[in-house]
Amino acid sequence: MPPSPASPRTRPATGWCWSTREVTVAGVFSLPCPASEVRSERSQGRNDMTGPRKAYPSIGVCGLDCGLCPRYYTVGKSRCPGCCGPGFFNKHPSCSFITCGVKTRKLEVCGECPEFPCAKFKPPEEYQVLGSSSYPPNRKVLPNLYFIKAQGIARFVEQQKKRMRLLRGMLAKFDDGRSRSFYCRATALLDPLGLASALSEAKRKAGRAKIPPDDAKGKARVLRELLSERARRESIELK
């Protein structure tokens, strides 16, 4: 049985939304949780009988930030539920990481394996170059797994949820239909405190400029500029 929904002000924003009530995002915005998406995921979970389930689908067994990927926030049948999430194997073929880490070793991520890093992984410098513009960014694969190896997956998920709440805030108020991938990359790569600061400043700046609430392009332009400036300060490319 699913947990009883808490009030909108106290319920944490997670990968599961149990009603159409709004949840507070990063203490700044509210984001509706569509019940249709919940029903779809529940249905997918019941029908997904071809593979194992992970406790934390927002982090790939290989280290990818599934919870910060554009497809994780897609509405409809093309939405990805995250690594080994509800309905995952109805949409994705398995991979060598899932076969070894999840099916055989019963792990959440490779960082929990005593043999990590193994021959399945590329040299660190290759992750910084090859596919650096992918979603989610390959640049975080090894850092994510080393973090989990050192501090545990619970600590990692706690930090990741902060980034996911910030991303939901961006998508709730600043999505012009073309910036989702940019926001996903920014929330995966930039410092969370800087992200929160940029999001709050974007709200204030849009208000001072009297940008109409329905001017999605105008608001997105403000936030993208602030995130790009933050990336320059941190010497990070958002490309």
Calculate mean pLDDT across residues 50-58: 87
Calculate mean pLDDT across residues 106-119: 94
Domain limits for position 59: 52-151
Residue 103 domain flag: yes
Domains in the chain, number? 1
Give the whole-angstrom CA distance, residue 239 versus residue 225. Answer: 14
Please give the pLDDT value at position 134.
Answer: 57
Burial 175-212 (b: 16+ CB within 10 A, else e): beeebbebbbbbbbbbeeebbbebbeebbebbeeeebe
Give the whole-angstrom CA distance, residue 180 versus residue 77. Answer: 18
pLDDT, tens digit (0-9, with 9 covering 90-100), for 158-213: 999 999 999 999 999 999 999 999 999 999 999 999 999 999 999 999 999 999 99
Is the pLDDT confidence value at 20 over 60? no
- Report DSSP state, residue 65: -
Give the whole-angstrom CA distance, residue 93 versus residue 9. Answer: 39
The tokens for 188 are: 């995966």
Find out whether 108 and 54 touch, Cβ atoms under 8 Å: yes
The tokens for 102 are: 């999840």
Residue 143 domain flag: yes
Please give the pLDDT value at position 38.
Answer: 38
Residue 119 domain flag: yes
Is the pLDDT confidence value at 35 over 60? no
Please give the pLDDT value at position 52.
Answer: 85
What is the average pLDDT value for the chain, to the nearest integer? 80
Calculate mean pLDDT across residues 28-46: 39
Which amino acid does the sequence have at 17?
A: C
Helix/strand/coil percentages in the chain, nearest 5: 50, 5, 45
Calculate mean pLDDT across residues 36-42: 39
66 Ramachandran zone, left/alpha/beta (phi>0; psi -120 to 50): alpha
Please give the pLDDT value at position 131.
Answer: 52
- 23 pLDDT band (50/70/90 cuts)? very low
Range with the poorest average pLDDT among 4-8, 72-76, 99-103: 4-8
The tokens for 167 are: 């991303």
Residue 209 domain flag: no
pTM assigned to the model: 0.76
Residue 135 domain flag: yes
Residue 100 domain flag: yes
Residue 67 domain flag: yes
Determine phi and psi for 32, rounding to 5 degrees: -70, 145
Strands 29-32 and 22-25: antiparallel
Is the pLDDT confidence value at 29 over 60? no
More confidently predicted of 130 and 21: 130
Range with the poorest average pLDDT among 42-46, 191-195, 227-231: 42-46
Residue 115 domain flag: yes
Please give the pLDDT value at position 138.
Answer: 78
DSSP string, 136-152: S-GGGHHHHHHHHHHH-
Cis ω on the peptide bond leading into residue 143 (within 30° of 0)?
Answer: no
- Bridge partner list, 24: 30
Which amino acid does the sequence have at 163?
A: R
Range with the poorest average pLDDT among 14-28, 96-110, 119-133, 219-233: 14-28
3-state SS, one letter per residue, for 93-138: CCCHHHHHHHHHCCCCCHHHCCCCCCCCCCCHHHHHHCCCCCCCCH
Please give the pLDDT value at position 136.
Answer: 67
Determine phi and psi for 161, rounding to 5 degrees: -60, -35
